[in-house]
Amino acid sequence: MKSKVILAGALLCTLTPSIFAKPLKVFILAGQSNMEGHAEISTFDYIGKDPATAPLLKEMRNADGTPRVCEKVWMSYLTGPYDGSANGEGVGNLTVGFGARGDHPTQPSSKIGPEFTFGIFMEKELKEPILIIKTAWGGRSLNTEFRPPSAGPYKLPKEIQDVWDQHPQGAHGIPKLEDRQKWQADKDAASGVFYRMMVEHVKKVLADPKRVCPAYDPEDGYELAGFVWLQGFNDLVDGTTYPNGNYDEYSRLLAHFIRDVRKDLSAPKMPFVIGVLGVEGEKNVNFRKAMAAPASMPEFKGNVVAVDTAPFWDTAIEAAEPKQGQYNEIVGTARTLKPDGSIDAERKWDKYWQPIGKPSPAERNWRHVTLDATDAKDKLAEYTDRRFRDIALPAGMEQWFMPGFDDSRWASGKAPVGKGAWNHGGITLDKFPSSWGKEEFLLMRTTFEVDDLDFESYRLAILARQGFHVYLNGHKIHTYIWWQDKPQYGAIELDQEDLKHLKNGRNVLAIYANDQYSPDSPDRYAALDAWIEGITKADRKKLDLALEEVLSPADREALKGASNGGYHYFGSAKIFAQMGKAFAEALLGL
């Protein structure tokens, strides 16, 4: 009897590796920008403010507050720029930084997506090595870029085709009849490109899993344990593909997608999670139903599940976001204009800030001169909105912004200096005390006397249509290279480095700028004016208190949980963390 026990024990030891060995669990995560993940690490603290999600934060951080590193979870993350032109693979143990990476796909970012808590909870439950293969690119639709092969070529819905047929000469969003063949060819060329990138990358990783996951044992093999799909925004807003809010075509495409992914990866029953888009919470009902629909199809019963992400939408952030926009507009505006282009002296937010120096900005004399680019390298062959650039100045003018420069031969007058009519938002700005002239570039200088610098903070108030450099006492304090349709004075707060150049006594403010125009149009218009103003500590407190009418302390607290706009779930780690956990639980349930 004893020998039999010994023999059985020996046999068990011999068979143990093959009996108890487990294949490596492989999970695939795919989609567009929300699968990339735009939640900044800086929003983590907000998770702990809610008792319902505070336990999540404990899972995401170590005892010392640093982000968790999952020692048994490895990542292969293929992503890249919007068009997928420069894809790169990021690899390593799962931790923060596998969110959106923009133009640096191989480098960790400061963001997370759903992969972070997905991997955390998978590791916690399975207690074995895990490989996550993630492929995601922003702005990609299922109807085109992710189009599955078996769905067939893209075809316009009949309702849209009928509208196009009524406009052979084209219209807004409708190509001319002679251009439609090319439109379809371009659509066909783009169709399925990112689907193929996704499948090819998964196959590449699975051809040599040990390259990414050192814990992989070829003798044990691997198991495709689940696929998570989080996508939808570009389809949601595509009225051409889904007219009149009818998203049945999305359901059809997604069913084909599930079938094709399983076929192409030789995993006919691979569990599949549909992350139902929850942007705007419980809204977009038709689209959310269409996304979830394949989970109810008989052929997918028991191995496809839809996870609605709408319950994770944060209504507190949603309520605060527009207030933040209003608040930013207020603090980013130094002075507004009335419909006739004159300064609105009644705007209540401006009374706390005081222009510094004498004479007052309205009474200051500006010296100004205009010129065109003369060097061939400085000229633009074609019209472009981004016209701002540095050009070679005439001899003797290189130091035009320095306090000691002789500007006595320049034109003289009050600001704004301008040309043309700037019509925007019900405001017409066309009565300029000083003329810009015909040339593209403007140099202008003024002096002001300061007898005290007792303010807590200072800002530059500037009216500008195009890009500009601003100099204070010969030192550049700000550059703006773009263009803007805001006929109002912007507010640019000055930092300590800038303020080193502001002094008691005589100061020189100088500005270099260009106008906005098209060579083919007489509509050349521009306006330029600027001054420095300050706010006392006491007035800052009064202003902050007044601004609570716009953005309350509760709103500010909610916004700590957000890092960008609504269609990226506010870039909130609280939302992405809940999604990742829910996706993991759904797959474990399957």
In a domain, 2, yes or no: no
Is 411 found in the same domain as 296?
no
In a domain, 334, yes or no: yes
Is 80 found in the same domain as 168?
no
Res. 385 pLDDT band, cuts 50 70 90: low
Is 446 found in the same domain as 406?
yes
Is 503 found in the same domain as 363?
yes
Q: Per-residue pLDDT averaged across 478-489, rounded?
A: 90
Residue 343 is classified by DSSP as: B
* Strands in 466-565 per DSSP E: 468-472, 475-480, 489-493, 505-514, 526-535
> What is 20-67 written as a DSSP string?
H--PEEEEEEEESHHHH--EEGGGHHHHTTSTTTHHHHHHHB-TTSPB
Query: How far is 385 from 154, CA to CA, in rounded Å?
Result: 34
Is 137 found in the same domain as 228?
yes
Is 478 found in the same domain as 362?
yes
Is 406 found in the same domain as 362?
yes
Question: Above 80 in pLDDT, residue 18?
Answer: no
Query: 417-419 and 434-435: which strand pairing?
Result: parallel
Q: Per-residue pLDDT averaged across 522-547, rounded?
A: 92
Domain stop point among 140, 169, 190: 190
Tens of pLDDT, residues 218-262:
999 999 999 999 999 999 999 999 999 999 999 999 999 999 999
Query: How far is 213 from 147, CA to CA, in rounded Å?
Result: 30
Least confident of 312-321, 349-358, 417-426: 417-426
- Give exposure, 12-35, as e/b (b: 16+ Cβ within 10 Å): eeeeeeeeeeeebbbbbbbbbbbb
Q: What is the pLDDT of residue 13?
A: 37
Is 432 found in the same domain as 354?
yes
Q: Per-residue pLDDT averaged across 75-94, rounded?
A: 95
Q: How many helices (H) and strands (E) does the chain have?
A: 16, 24
Q: Structure tokens of 438?
A: 């015909």
In a domain, 15, yes or no: no
Query: How far is 351 from 535, CA to CA, in rounded Å?
Result: 10
Least confident of 20-24, 73-77, 116-120: 20-24
Is 477 found in the same domain as 351?
yes
In a domain, 14, yes or no: no
Res. 378 pLDDT band, cuts 50 70 90: confident
Q: Structure tokens of 444?
A: 């202008």
In a domain, 558, yes or no: no
Q: CA torsion 423→425→426→428, rounded to 10°?
A: -30
Tens of pLDDT, residues 423-438:
888 999 999 999 998 8
Res. 412 pLDDT band, cuts 50 70 90: very high
Using alpha carbons, select from 139, 138, 156 the residue that is nearest to residue 234. Answer: 139
Res. 483 pLDDT band, cuts 50 70 90: confident
Mean pLDDT of the chain: 93
Give me the helices (H) in 371-517, please: 496-499
Is 310 found in the same domain as 349?
no
Domain span at residue 409? 326-547
In a domain, 256, yes or no: yes
Is 367 found in the same domain as 308?
no
Is 148 found in the same domain as 71?
yes
In a domain, 4, yes or no: no
The domain that holds 573 is classified in CATH as: 3.40.50.1110
The domain that holds 405 is classified in CATH as: 2.60.120.260
Question: Above 60 in pLDDT, residue 7?
Answer: no
Query: How far is 245 from 236, CA to CA, in rounded Å?
Result: 9
The domain tally of the chain equals: 3
Half-sphere exposure of 520 (CA within 13 A, CB side): 4
Tens of pLDDT, residues 172-223:
889 999 999 999 999 999 999 999 999 999 999 999 999 999 999 999 999 9
In a domain, 1, yes or no: no
Query: How far is 302 from 206, CA to CA, in rounded Å?
Result: 25
